[in-house]
Homo-oligomer: A and B are copies of this chain.
C-alpha cells in the first residue's frame, strides 16, 4: 500500500492512504498518524490494506502531492548509512581520509525532529556553506529489539521512502575529520510525499535493496540516474547494524546514503560533491558549483513500467536563519 501525510495543524499531520496511481486519497482508518501506525503495525495494517484495495477500485478525493508533508514529519531516530562504495571511496579520496575497512556498514545519526516536505523551500543560512543535495532511499521500521540479526530485521522494514539528505560541503570535511560525525553539515532532510510498503516494488525490492534508478535533475537538467541496487549492504543489514547495541524505536528511519554506481562518469551522480570529486580526479579541479539560493533540485524514482512510486521531490534552497 501507499501512504502519505497531510497537514492538519499538528506536528505529526494526518495519515492518508493513497491509491496505486497516486491520484486518489482518503484519511487512513484506525491510525491517525504515521507514527501511530508504526507503533502498532500489526494492529492497523490489515485494515489499511483493505482500505487501499477499495481506494484502488474507486472513490476518495483528488491527491495533490504538493500539499503533502514528509510521510513521517518528525521521527525519534534517523540513521543514515553510506552503502554505495563508489560514492564512499571517491569521497574518501577527495577528503584525503584514510580508507575505511570494508565489511562493516558506515552509519551516522542525523537530525530527525524535522523532515521537510518534498516541495517546501529549504531554508539554509549561507551559500558559502557549499549547499548540496544527496538523493537516497530509506526504510522506516517498526520497533526492533537490540541484537536483532539481518534476517529478522528484514521483517521490521515496513515502509520504503525516497530522501534528499541536504548536506553542507564546506562544513562536512571539517566535522568528519574530528571523528564525531556531522551536526552543522547535515541540516533537515526532505522526503518524497509517498511511503510505500515493500510489496509495491514487486521484484524491484530485491535483497533488501531498491532495484530501480533514482532520477535527479538540477535546475531542469539531468544530473544523475544511478541504480539503487548496488548497495554493499542491504537495508536488512543496515537495520541489524543499527540495532547491535540499542533498541530501535518504532519509526526509526534508516538511509542508504547517496545512490551511486561505479559507472558514475556515464550515468551521473545523486549529489554535486560526487560530480565535483570526479572533476577533481579527471580534470584537476572541481567545476560544478554547489547550489545557490533559488536553485532547484528534482528527484524521482518510478517503477520500471513508469508507475509512480514515492512521488517527486522538487524544491528550491532559499536564504534562512536569523
Which chain A residues have a beta carbon within 8 Å of chain B's beta carbons?
74, 76-77, 79, 82, 95, 97-98, 100, 104, 106-114, 123-125, 129, 145-148, 168, 171, 174, 176-185, 187-188, 241-242, 244-247, 249, 252, 320-322
15 A-B contacts (beta carbon < 8 Å): A77-B111, A77-B112, A77-B113, A79-B183, A97-B179, A98-B177, A104-B174, A108-B181, A124-B245, A125-B244, A146-B322, A180-B181, A184-B245, A188-B246, A245-B321
A181 to B247 Cα, complex, angstroms: 18
Expressed in whole angstroms, the minimum distance between the Cβ of A75 and any Cβ of chain B is 9
Chain B, residue nearest A147 (CB): B321
Interfacial chain B residues near A74, Cβ < 8 Å: 76, 249
Cα separation A150 to B158 with both chains bound (whole Å): 42
Chain B min CB distance to A151 (Å): 13
Within the complex, the shortest CB–CB distance from A166 to chain B, in Å, comes to: 9
Q: Find A146's partner among B77, B123, B242, B247 (CB 8 Å cutoff).
A: B123
Closest to A108 in B: B180
Closest to A250 in B: B113
Tell me how far the C-beta of A193 lies from the nearest C-beta in chain B, rounded to whole angstroms.
Answer: 22
Chain B residue numbers with a CB within 8 Å of A82 are 180
Question: B176, B182, B242: which contacts A183 (Cβ < 8 A)?
Answer: B242
B113 touches A249 (CB 8 A): yes
B residues less than 8 Å from A242 (CB atoms): 183
A97 CA to B179 CA, complexed, in Å: 8
